[in-house]
């Protein structure tokens, strides 16, 4: 089988300006002054629909004009319905690709690429450009000196974007690209983006283009490193009582990895208050997540000052950490290229050439090997797996950015996280690595499959773009068939992912959100992308209170117990308590038996690290306090006050145990934390007081139910009550998915329907 040739890093983008062109008599006159470059028309972002693209011919449907979009990626099998470019038929002597802007437009430039393929190299090396207002009468760009048609230089490889600016913008509705020459032995294939500004039609013959916007007055632009620091400082100065900036480390080039903390008590872990994080910019060229987090911190600050009840409650009951740029070196590379010229991969890696999402320790393999040998959980724990020895060696290939995030994870008792990426529209959840070695893709669920499906569906169900019934696939896979969620390993295997590492090394549940088809959208699209994601970002944060939470205390002293293990019957994955004894266990509604175990200290220092998740307790210092500005931040350093970790379990008689049997959904009217007390080994093991059950605020505020029972909902007044879907503004029936393939996931509205359709699709293969 032919393998893909290894491609070198792309060359810098090419900007070419041919000789001046003129318009024929009768067209709209243009001034002699060169207009600023226009934003993209929207081929890459899908604002231009498939029915606006035409071609003289196509080799196949999968190579049709709808595939002629900048940066579109081919499917796993070239020649299917999802190939990587528009390609004209071999016998087509005068090939062309045509775009209907739908309204009067000022065209200012064209960006082209060749064909994305694992089998072939095809690209256009030169082309002409024509314009029309009615698709019948056409005029072209002319060489001023010769009066001949201008010929634009195009590509010399399949992936590097090449920009050609028109010497004078042309006002028309239609634009055609006419390939003149292409790679010898290849075909006339290209992907394109058109730079175009909408203009008003004085005669009213063409429809006006809708303006992309947002009602929020925020800083909608791309921020390089200096601009990002300045913006974070401004937010901190505007909201000093709820924000704090700190750094968790530095990139390979020495740029700091800044985090914005937002809480009513910044710098302090409050007993019972869960910690949640958003991470963006792991791949430097996937810029949308970075800007969304900068927008989110502005929005939370502004709405808190306005007294918005949702934001106020979120900031008073949750400690939020926002890392907008995990890979600042890669972003600076991408930023210098520009949003349309960075291509598909440049800036993805850090300065060492490391893909950070494959750089975390592989804890999946040792866990699965131990499971196959029957060693889990009695001999090998099912949680907080230690770092492998090879990973900590001085010559290990571990990026400084990766180490910084690992130490961050170990120091803060994160409960929930999302890793923001770009290039698709889907939420993927662990495991990301296939269990079968070398399998390209394979459904590989975690023991918390129900929780991860719920978390993924909550974000996808609140995201406007993911819920658009008319949207087309970004590239080759239609994730809308599965509710815009997928198991990561069932999509493509990712060894060493941050999601899997977070789940197996800490208490934190993390998903990956692919935010947009366009990895680096133009600034004029940021307001619309913010509106697409704003409610999803807020709703996902609220899920940190889904499940059970409480405090594990010593029966005699009433002090909290750190590192007690919280186990749920039937789920082969445990979590541990933080320093103050507080814990959070994400669960879907249902009946559970929960057990807490305290293991005695162990003198073997190597074993002590095996359970170290790292956590802060009540009053424990957080990351180093700073002057409150980006310039004054310090690195996250270990605290001398952090207690010693508890080691591996000793003899059974030395365990201390407490447990309760309860139903998720009881006690919803209370807000205080319950206590789960541990008794000595010589004491009896009765059922002790039930730990407080907490659900997302969205459900608490809306339902008013008395209890949840298996398979049905109990409400005194009406058994068929309804509740709003998050962010969608309409009510729908609460549906019990007991008939689904999973059978253990509660959901509501279209979210439930998505789960059901995903399960049905999975059962059908």
Q: How is residue 107 annotated by DSSP? A: E
Provide the terminal-to-terminal Cα distance of the chain, rounded to the nearest Å: 26
What local confidence, expressed as pLDDT, does residue 141 receive? Answer: 85
Rounded to 5°, angle at Cα 559 from 508 and 317 = 45
Distance of CA 595 to the CA centre of its chain: 33
Q: Kindly list the strands in the beta sheet with 243-250, ordered across the sheet, starting from the edge strand earlier in the chain.
A: 243-250, 256-262, 319-323, 275-280, 414-421, 509-514, 426-429, 485-487
Q: DSSP E strands: which ranges in 263-366?
A: 275-280, 319-323
The helix/strand/coil state of 5 is coil
Say if strands 243-250 and 256-262 run parallel, antiparallel, or are unpaired.
antiparallel
Give the model's confidence band at 556: pLDDT under 50 very low, under 70 low, under 90 confident, else very high. confident
CA distance 56 to 90: 12
Going along the chain from its start, the domains and CATH numbers come out as: 14-198 (2.60.120.260), 225-545 (3.40.630.10), 547-624+654-763 (2.60.40.1120)
What local confidence, expressed as pLDDT, does residue 111 receive? Answer: 97
CA distances 583 to 452, 455, 502, 705, Å, are 19, 19, 16, 25
Give the predicted TM-score (pTM) of the model. Answer: 0.79
- The percent of residues in the chain predicted with pLDDT above 90, rounded, is 63
Lookup result for tokens 């918005």: 308
The helix/strand/coil state of 321 is strand
CB neighbour list of residue 487: distance below 8 Å, 6 or more residues apart? 428, 429, 430, 431, 443, 444, 445
Task: Answer whether 421's CB lies under 8 Å from 513's CB.
Answer: yes
Q: Quick: pLDDT tens for 154-173.
A: 999 999 999 999 988 999 99
Window from 508-517, 558-567, 739-748 with minimum mean pLDDT: 739-748
CB neighbour list of residue 594: distance below 8 Å, 6 or more residues apart? 548, 566, 567, 568, 569, 585, 659, 660, 661, 662, 676, 691
CA-only gyration radius of the chain, Å: 28
Q: Quick: pLDDT tens for 418-465.
A: 999 999 999 999 999 999 998 999 999 999 999 999 999 999 999 999
Of residues 758 and 239, more confidently modeled: 239
What local confidence, expressed as pLDDT, does residue 604 receive? Answer: 33
CB neighbour list of residue 25: distance below 8 Å, 6 or more residues apart? none
The three-state (H, E, C) secondary structure of 30-55, written as one string:
CCCCCCCCCCECCCCCCCCCHHHEEE
Q: How far is it between the farthest Cα atoms of the chain?
A: 100
Distance of CA 480 to the CA centre of its chain: 16
Is the bond leading into 321 cis (omega within 30 degrees of zero)?
no
Q: Quick: pLDDT tens for 301-358.
A: 999 999 999 999 999 999 999 999 999 999 999 999 998 899 899 999 999 999 999 9
Window from 454-463, 557-566, 605-614, 663-672 with minimum mean pLDDT: 605-614
How many other C-beta atoms lie within 10 A of the C-beta of residue 168? 18
CA distance 272 to 284: 35
Window from 414-423, 482-491, 719-728 with minimum mean pLDDT: 719-728
Task: Answer whether 674's CB lies under 8 Å from 692's CB.
Answer: yes
Q: Quick: pLDDT tens for 172-221.
A: 999 999 999 999 989 999 999 999 998 876 666 666 666 668 889 999 99
Distance of CA 654 to the CA centre of its chain: 44
Q: How is residue 339 annotated by DSSP? A: T
Residue 717 falls in the annotated catalytic set: no
Mean pLDDT along residues 753-763: 32
Long-range residue pairs from 756-761, CB within 8 A, at least 24 positions apart, any chain: 757/481, 757/482, 757/483, 758/453, 758/482, 758/483, 758/485, 761/481, 761/482
What local confidence, expressed as pLDDT, does residue 641 receive? Answer: 31
CA distances 338 to 7, 309, 641, Å, are 21, 39, 46
What local confidence, expressed as pLDDT, does residue 109 receive? Answer: 95
CA distance 602 to 106: 73
What local confidence, expressed as pLDDT, does residue 79 receive? Answer: 58
pLDDT at 526 over 80: yes
Give the model's confidence band at 409: pLDDT under 50 very low, under 70 low, under 90 confident, else very high. very high
The active-site residue out of 286, 514, 529, 542 is 514
Burial class (CB in 10 A: 0-12, 13-18, 19+), 644: exposed
CA distance 557 to 552: 12
For residue 128, report the phi and psi dihedrals to the nearest 5 degrees.
-110, 165
Give the model's confidence band at 143: pLDDT under 50 very low, under 70 low, under 90 confident, else very high. confident
Q: Is the dihedral of CA 138, 144, 150, 156 positive or negative?
A: negative
Report residue 342 as tokens: 């960075």
Rounded to 5°, angle at Cα 726 from 722 and 731 = 25
What local confidence, expressed as pLDDT, does residue 271 receive? Answer: 94
Total number of residues shown for the chain: 765
For residue 681, report the phi and psi dihedrals to the nearest 5 degrees.
-65, -30
pLDDT at 572 over 80: yes
pLDDT at 290 over 70: yes
Mean pLDDT along residues 392-396: 94
DSSP 366-387: HHHHHHHTT-TTTTS-SSSPPP
CB neighbour list of residue 655: distance below 8 Å, 6 or more residues apart? 597, 598, 599, 649, 681
Q: How is residue 142 annotated by DSSP? A: B
pLDDT at 539 over 50: yes
Lookup result for tokens 């075909």: 187
What local confidence, expressed as pLDDT, does residue 762 receive? Answer: 30
What local confidence, expressed as pLDDT, does residue 302 receive? Answer: 98
DSSP 273-292: --EEEEEE-SSTT--HHHHH
DSSP 474-539: SSS--GGGGTTEEEHHHH---TT-HHHHHHHHSS-EEEEEE--SSSS--GGGHHHHHHHHHHHHHH
H helical segments located in 682-748: 697-702
pLDDT at 673 over 50: no
Of residues 704 and 408, more confidently modeled: 408
CB neighbour list of residue 614: distance below 8 Å, 6 or more residues apart? 409, 410, 411, 412, 413, 506
Q: Quick: pLDDT tens for 614-646.
A: 222 222 333 333 333 344 444 443 333 333 222
Q: DSSP E strands: which ranges in 227-318?
A: 243-250, 256-262, 275-280
CA distance 501 to 360: 7
Give the model's confidence band at 244: pLDDT under 50 very low, under 70 low, under 90 confident, else very high. very high
What local confidence, expressed as pLDDT, does residue 221 receive? Answer: 96
What local confidence, expressed as pLDDT, does residue 652 receive? Answer: 27
Report residue 566 as tokens: 């919280």
């Amino acid at each position: 089988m032919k393998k893909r040739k290894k491609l070198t890093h792309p060359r810098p983008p090419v900007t070419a300006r041919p000789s001046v062109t003129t318009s024929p008599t009768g067209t709209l006159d243009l001034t002699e002054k060169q207009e600023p470059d226009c934003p993209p028309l929207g081929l890459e972002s899908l604002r231009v629909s498939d029915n606006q693209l035409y071609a003289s011919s196509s080799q196949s449907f999968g190579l049709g004009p709808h595939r002629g979009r900048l940066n579109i990626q081919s499917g796993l099998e070239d020649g299917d319905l999802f190939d990587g470019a528009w390609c004209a038929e071999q016998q087509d002597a005068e090939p062309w690709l045509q775009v209907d802007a739908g309204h009067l437009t000022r065209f200012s430039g064209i960006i082209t690429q060749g064909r994305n393929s694992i089998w072939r190299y095809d690209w256009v090396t030169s082309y002409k450009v024509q314009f029309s207002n009615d698709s019948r009468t056409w005029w072209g760009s002319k060489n001023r000196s010769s009066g001949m048609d201008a010929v634009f230089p195009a590509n010399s490889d399949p992936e590097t974007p090449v920009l050609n600016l028109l010497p004078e913008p042309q006002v028309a509705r239609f634009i055609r690209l006419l390939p003149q020459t292409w790679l010898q032995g290849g075909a006339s294939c290209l992907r394109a983006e058109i730079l175009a500004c909408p203009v008003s039609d004085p005669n009213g013959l063409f429809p006006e283009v809708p303006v992309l916007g947002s009602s929020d007055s925020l800083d909608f632009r791309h921020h390089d490193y200096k601009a990002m620091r300045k913006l974070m400082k401004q937010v901190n100065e505007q909201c000093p009582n709820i924000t704090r900036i700190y750094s968790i480390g530095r990139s390979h080039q020495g740029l700091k990895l800044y985090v914005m903390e937002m809480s009513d008590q910044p710098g302090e872990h409050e007993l019972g208050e869960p910690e949640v994080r958003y991470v963006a910019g792991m791949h430097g060229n996937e810029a949308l997540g970075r800007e969304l987090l900068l927008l989110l911190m502005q929005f939370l600050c502004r709405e808190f000052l306005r007294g918005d009840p949702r934001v106020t409650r979120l900031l008073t009951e949750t400690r939020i950490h926002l890392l907008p740029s995990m890979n600042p070196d890669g972003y600076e590379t991408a930023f210098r290229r520009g949003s349309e010229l960075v291509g598909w991969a440049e800036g993805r890696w850090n300065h060492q050439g490391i893909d950070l999402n494959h750089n975390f320790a592989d804890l999946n393999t040792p866990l699965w090997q131990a499971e196959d040998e029957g060693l889990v959980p009695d001999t090998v724990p099912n949680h907080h797996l230690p770092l492998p020895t090879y990973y900590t060696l001085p010559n290990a290939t571990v990026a400084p950015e990766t180490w910084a995030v690992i130490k961050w994870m170990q120091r803060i008792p994160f409960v929930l996280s999302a890793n923001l990426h770009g290039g698709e529209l889907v939420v993927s959840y662990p495991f990301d690595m296939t269990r079968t070695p070398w399998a390209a893709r394979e459904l590989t669920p975690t023991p918390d499959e129900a929780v991860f499906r719920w978390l993924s569906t909550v974000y996808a169900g609140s995201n406007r773009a993911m819920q658009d019934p008319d949207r087309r696939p970004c590239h080759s896979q239609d994730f809308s068939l599965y509710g815009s969620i997928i198991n990561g390993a069932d999509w493509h295997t990712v060894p060493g992912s941050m999601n899997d590492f977070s789940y197996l090394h800490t208490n934190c549940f993390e998903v990956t959100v692919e935010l947009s088809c366009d990895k680096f959208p133009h600034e004029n699209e940021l307001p619309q992308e913010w509106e697409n994601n704003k409610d999803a970002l807020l709703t996902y944060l609220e899920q940190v209170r889904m499940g059970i939470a409480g405090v594990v205390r010593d029966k005699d002293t009433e002090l909290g117990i750190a590192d007690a293990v919280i186990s749920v019957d039937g789920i082969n994955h445990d979590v541990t308590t933080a320093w103050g004894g507080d814990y959070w266990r994400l669960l879907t509604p249902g009946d559970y038996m929960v057990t807490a175990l305290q293991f005695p200290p162990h003198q073997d220092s190597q074993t002590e690290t095996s359970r170290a998740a790292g956590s802060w307790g009540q009053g424990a210092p957080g990351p180093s306090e700073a002057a409150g500005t980006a310039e004054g931040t310090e690195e996250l350093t270990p605290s001398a006050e952090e207690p010693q970790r508890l080691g591996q379990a000793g003899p059974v008689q030395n365990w201390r145990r407490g447990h309760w049997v309860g139903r998720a959904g009881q006690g919803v009217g209370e807000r205080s934390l319950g206590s789960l007390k541990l008794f000595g080994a010589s004491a009896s093991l009765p059922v002790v007081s039930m730990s407080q059950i907490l659900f997302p605020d969205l459900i608490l505020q809306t339902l008013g139910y008395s209890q949840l029972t298996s398979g049905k909902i109990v409400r005194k007044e009406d058994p068929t009550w309804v509740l709003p879907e998050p962010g969608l503004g309409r009510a729908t029936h609460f549906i019990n998915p007991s008939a689904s393939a999973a059978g253990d996931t509660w959901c509501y509205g279209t979210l439930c329907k998505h789960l059901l359709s995903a399960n049905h699709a999975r059962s059908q293969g």
